[in-house]
Amino acid sequence: LAIPIPELAERIERGEPRAIAKAITLADEGEAAELLIRLYGKGGRARVVGVTGPPGAGKSTLVDKLTRTYRSKGLSVGIVAVDPTSPFTGGAILGDRIRMQDLTSDEGVFIRSLATRGALGGLSRATADAIEILDASGKDVILVETVGVGQDEVEVALVAETVLVVLVPGLGDEIQAMKAGIIEIGDVFVVNKADKPGADRAQKELHAMLTLTLGHGEEPPEIVRTIAESGEGVAELVEAVERHRELVAKVPAGHGRSATERARRRTRERLRSIIKDQVLRRVDERFLARVDERTLDALSARTVDPYTLARELVEGA
Amino acid sequence: LAIPIPELAERIERGEPRAIAKAITLADEGEAAELLIRLYGKGGRARVVGVTGPPGAGKSTLVDKLTRTYRSKGLSVGIVAVDPTSPFTGGAILGDRIRMQDLTSDEGVFIRSLATRGALGGLSRATADAIEILDASGKDVILVETVGVGQDEVEVALVAETVLVVLVPGLGDEIQAMKAGIIEIGDVFVVNKADKPGADRAQKELHAMLTLTLGHGEEPPEIVRTIAESGEGVAELVEAVERHRELVAKVPAGHGRSATERARRRTRERLRSIIKDQVLRRVDERFLARVDERTLDALSARTVDPYTLARELVEGA
């Protein structure tokens, strides 16, 4: 069943869903390096939009509606949903991913969940790989949805050109407690469920917070109100994403928020995640292979301590 | 405010709560290697019990009641609670950790939460470090509670001598879906909330499942029914933990389930997590330091691919 890499690459470039699925599985298993090297020249055209926010903010519904809006403009869409999983069930812990059933029959849409449990070596590396594959397959827009839990998706958000941070009214304390890190990664902020009480207050608090952290002469990121359930505001959100792209393109080179600098940060993150992955693979092969039972027993008996031993192994490598 | 390491080590050995807290913070930041080398000879006496299971199984309440039971036997207790955190609030996502308030006034109990977000380099390394510190501080029993989400706690469970897997009735499907990995790490199984309908069924299904995976001539792990809320069954659970220790001690050396083999696995895991940590620190220092803006721009422009570059950097190191 192994398809030769050149053939798999060709099929991906033709946009064949099964080839894309196969390639993302390979990436998830950390086995797609050769394929990705081959595909690398083909990518770089898709718009990559990250969607993050706390659990319950309505991210999945919003991604669904964003997809329909992009489709109505004739653009094809790839979706990567990043889920932490429970080792108890093997399933996603938050919300149901068996959604957008009617979208899956649309050939212009490809949906894939990546489970934190599955990603050998690193979630951010596997997610970035999946984006590469979808990009090479010719998808115009790639939506990356994360669950808002853990550190991983802060990293994942770094792969996107435009990051949407989705919040909801009534999480006033949540906004107060939001960390600077999240504020920094957000390019467009969304107040979803905007028909709920407290939407005005949430928007005001958010605006105040975003203004507070601005650099000299900088505009605050846009805040868009949506009701994802009904689709209200989603077209405006798509326009805000476009405006963000245009805005970034206009920032003079050398500025920290310029397109070049943003691309450098993404590229650096990408390189780091790949190096991390390769280096961790060597840990087992190179270091742990040298540790015999006698050494393990010495550690158990506490005649050797693992910190000193680790240092010797790593430095002697 | 920096306390010299020899002094900090002495204070920990005297069981000073503030010194223990300080040391665990250092460990969380990945800065406790020197301290841990010094403490290593002092540890190895505590019984380390892992408590894992799906969210909502009542693990926190059970840990609370286990602590009281051990205390009533005159044993001191250290608790390490491992939480994934939301980058949105910086807080724990599941349940409230501001619990066991009355226990914190007991000098024989030390409680510490470790957030996945905080642990630089690796949660399992930081958790194992915290266990070392509590061990060196003279705690008789160390309870390690994980949240049942993600891969991390499968690793964390490897640091414990006895792993309790906590389940509840009505999660029949959960039991069906439980992965072999979880079955393997469980030494004692707990059916908590045993006054709820379906407790008998849950126990039977669990028993059937545990029997299914047994090796030749092996006894299935014990199943203990508890009502953590009222404390019912907790004394029996403590006895089951003791029986597990005794059972392990009797398994002949050379057998995969013998005390020696179990200790080797734990030690190997411990060494791996430390090496991983040290190696990842070098990634930034050694590899990424060599990547200049021209290289990043070449990556962005896709004239160089990151997989090939990563390989060159790692191999040339």
Nearest to A270 among B53, B154, B306 (CB): B306
B173-177, B212-216, B293-297: the lowest-pLDDT one: B173-177
Interchain contact, B93 vs A274, CB within 8 Å: no
With bands split at pLDDT 50, 70 and 90, how would you rate the model's confidence at A124? confident
Residue A90 has pLDDT above 90, yes or no: no
**Could you tell me which chain B residue has the CA closest to the CA of A57?**
B88
Q: Would you call A272 and B288 a contact, using CB atoms and an 8 Å cutoff?
A: yes
CA B164 distance to own-chain centroid: 11
Residue of B nearest to A35 (CA): B307
Residue partners of B84: CB distance under 8 A and separation at least 6: A84, A149, A150, B92, B93, B94, B115, B116, B117, B147, B149, B150, B152
Note the pLDDT tens digit of each residue in B248-277.
999 888 787 888 888 888 898 889 888 888
B158 falls in which pLDDT band (50, 70, 90)?
Answer: confident
Q: Which bin fits B153, alpha (ψ -120 to 50), beta or left (φ > 0)? A: alpha
Q: Looking at the complex, report in whole angstroms how far the Cα of residue B99 sits from the nearest Cα belonging to chain A.
A: 21
Mean pLDDT of A305-313: 90
**Which of 34-53 (B) contact A at CB < 8 A?**
36-37, 40-41, 43-44, 53
Residue B43: exposed, middle, or buried by beta-carbon count in 10 A (0-12, 13-18, 19+)? buried
Residues of chain A contacting B300 with CB distance shorter than 8 Å: 260, 263-264, 266-267
Q: What is the pLDDT of residue A119?
A: 45
- A263 contact residues in B (CB cutoff 8 A): 296-297, 300
Q: pTM of the entire structure?
A: 0.78
| B contacts of A86 (beta carbons < 8 Å) | 54-55, 148-150
Which B residues, 255 through 294, put their C-beta within 8 Å of a C-beta on chain A? 260, 263-264, 266-268, 270-272, 274-276, 278-280, 282-284, 287-288, 291, 293
Mutation test of the interface with chain A: which of B82, B86, B132, choosing the one with the most A Cβ atoms within 10 A? Answer: B86
Q: Which pLDDT score is estimated for A122?
A: 60
d(CA A94, CA A229): 18
Extract long-range pairs of A196-204: CB within 8 Å, 24+ residues apart: A196/A168, A196/A169, A196/A170, A197/A169, A197/A170, A198/A169, A198/A170, A198/A172, A199/A169, A199/A225, A201/A169, A201/A172, A202/A167, A202/A168, A202/A169, A202/A170, A202/A171, A202/A172, A202/A175
Under 8 Å CB-to-CB from B124, ≥6 apart: which residues? B152, B155, B156, B158, B159, B269, B273
Indicate the average pLDDT of chain A.
84
Residues of B in contact with A174 (CB under 8 A): 88-89
Contacts of B171-176 with C-beta under 8 Å, sequence gap 24+, read: B171/B54, B171/B57, B171/B202, B172/B198, B172/B201, B172/B202, B172/B205, B173/A89, B174/A88, B174/A89, B174/B54, B175/B202, B175/B205, B175/B206, B175/B209, B176/B205
B146 alpha-carbon distance from chain centroid: 6
B314·A93 Cβ contact <8 A = no
CB-CB neighbors (< 8 A) of B116 in chain A:
150-151
A246 burial type by CB count under 10 A (0-12 exposed, 13-18 middle, 19+ buried): exposed
Report the distance separating Cα B89 and Cα A202, nearest Å.
15
- Cβ of A264 within 8 Å of Cβ of B149? The answer is no
pLDDT of residue A205: 86
Amino acid at A305: D
**What tokens appear for A220 in the block?**
């605050």
Is residue A1 over pLDDT 60?
Answer: no
Residues 6+ apart with CB under 8 A from B118: B28, B29, B85, B126
Q: Which of residues 56-75 of B touch A (CB under 8 A)?
A: none
Tell me, what's the pLDDT at B95?
42
B183 at interface of A, judged by CB pairs closer than 8 A: no
Looking at the predicted structure, is the pLDDT value of residue A96 above 50?
Answer: no
Question: A150 and B150 in contact by Cβ < 8 A?
Answer: yes
What percentage of chain A has pLDDT greater than the value 70? 83
Q: Please check whether residue B254 touches A, CB under 8 A.
A: no
> Looking at residue A287, what is its pLDDT?
77
Residue B103 has pLDDT above 80, yes or no: no
Average pLDDT over residues A238-262: 90
The mean pLDDT of A56-82, rounded to a whole number, is 93
Substitution target in A26, A38, A89 with the highest count of B β-carbons within 10 Å is A89
Q: Which amino acid is at B153?
A: E
Nearest chain A CA: its distance from B72 CA (Å)? 30
Distance from CA of B143 to the nearest CA of A (A): 20
Residues 6+ apart with CB under 8 A from A74: none
- The pLDDT of residue A87 is above 80: no
What would the pLDDT profile of A125-145 be if each residue is shown by its tens digit? 888 999 999 999 999 999 998
- The confidence score (pLDDT) of residue A98 equals 47
- Taking only the tens place, the pLDDT of each residue in A223-234 is 999 999 999 999
ipTM of predicted complex: 0.81
Backbone angles phi, psi at B116, to 5 degrees: -55, -35
pLDDT digit string, tens, across residues A16-38? 999 999 999 999 888 899 999 99
Cβ atoms within 10 Å, residue B303? 10
Residue listed under structure tokens 């909502």: B56
